Amino acid sequence: MRLINSFLVTALTLLTACQSTPTVTVPQPPVVQVPLGPPPKPRIALVLGGGAARGFAHVGVIRVLEQEKIPIDMVVGTSVGSLIGAIYASDLSSFELEWTAFQLEKDDLFDFGVVNAVVGMGFAKGDKLEAWVKSHIKTANIENLKLPFTAVAADLNWGYKVALDKGSVARAIRASAAIPGVFQPVKHQGKILVDGGVVDNIPISVARAKGADIVIAVDISGNLGNTNITNLLDVSLQATNIMFALNVEQAKKDADVLITPAGIGDIGMLDFSQKKRCMQAGIDTTKQAMPAIRRAIEAWVSARTRPTMPVPAPAR
């Protein structure tokens, strides 16, 4: 009996196996990754702040950015930042920028005069500054510079920020650098203009308004301390320095990368004897900032780059 039962179980098992549907494995076609084009590139703005003679630090910043092949798509500058920015925008060469900037001396910019101070609206007229720019920047109009450029000034009558992105390069720089009480205000484009640092010494907002995706800003307005104030000119310069530094505090928060050249806070606004020291500070601080700059660019590109699409290969 047991033998019969065992035979029946075995037969039933074989019969069930024969009736089950066999599993068929269908080979899948290979997947081809189809690229969706090159990754997008951000528009990078270099924003150069005001700070008079400390502006030679901007030269060092630009040298490192050029050496590291960081593409600059526009330059926006206030005061000395507009001067250095325009020189660079005219040639796109840090070597030429350094050569030109280091020819600059205080006497090339300041046409001081007793008459100016007594009957005018500043110690200096600003004619020498404008003439120097005309002789060293051969491109007459902003719109013809090799790189989009904006100089920022302040409307003395109404307190508005004025972005100068067309017209005379020399006149725009003169207006942007017309430190109140030091230089006479500048009549330009139907307005009376003074140093842009009065309203925005680090004009990141102007760069954003012009389409900048990433802003690298350079602040040279630090260290307000000055115990060597002995005359009316010193008073004007120190008051300006305070004004510049205070309006930077809020503006700088909108920078993607903020470069603050170290060790130049004790350099006076009219001390042109420290050019190399300022430039070296710009070089050193920008080298330290390079990882942050590259991270900002990579993050922007990554956020806007879709992964490649898997597409089945055509059947053979």
Given a contact cutoff of 8 angstroms between Cβ atoms, the answer to whether 204 and 159 are in contact is no
Catalytic residue among 73, 91, 195, 219: 195
- Output the six-digit token pair for 192: 């009376």
**In whole angstroms, what is the distance from residue 97 CA to residue 64 CA?**
13
Amino acid identity, residue 302?
S
CB contact at 8 A, 64 and 292: no
195 annotated active-site: yes
Closest CA to 271 of 94, 78, 116, 80: 80
Q: What is the Cα–Cα distance from 90 to 74, expressed in whole angstroms?
A: 12
Decide if 267 contacts 278 (C-beta within 8 A): yes
> What CA–CA distance (Å, rounded) separates 310 from 151?
48
Which is the catalytic residue, given 79, 94, 176, 236? 79
Q: How would you write 67-100 as a 3-class SS string? A: HCCCCCCEEEEECHHHHHHHHHHHHCCHHHHHHH
* Helices 80-91, 94-101: inter-axial angle, 10-degree rounding: 130
Q: Distance of CA 298 to CAs 203, 294, 302, Å?
A: 24, 6, 6
DSSP state of 34: E
The Cα 300–Cα 83 span in angstroms is: 30
- Report d(CA 86, CA 70) in Å as an integer: 18
Nearest to 199 by CA among 162, 236, 241, 164: 162
Catalytic sites, residue numbers: 79, 195
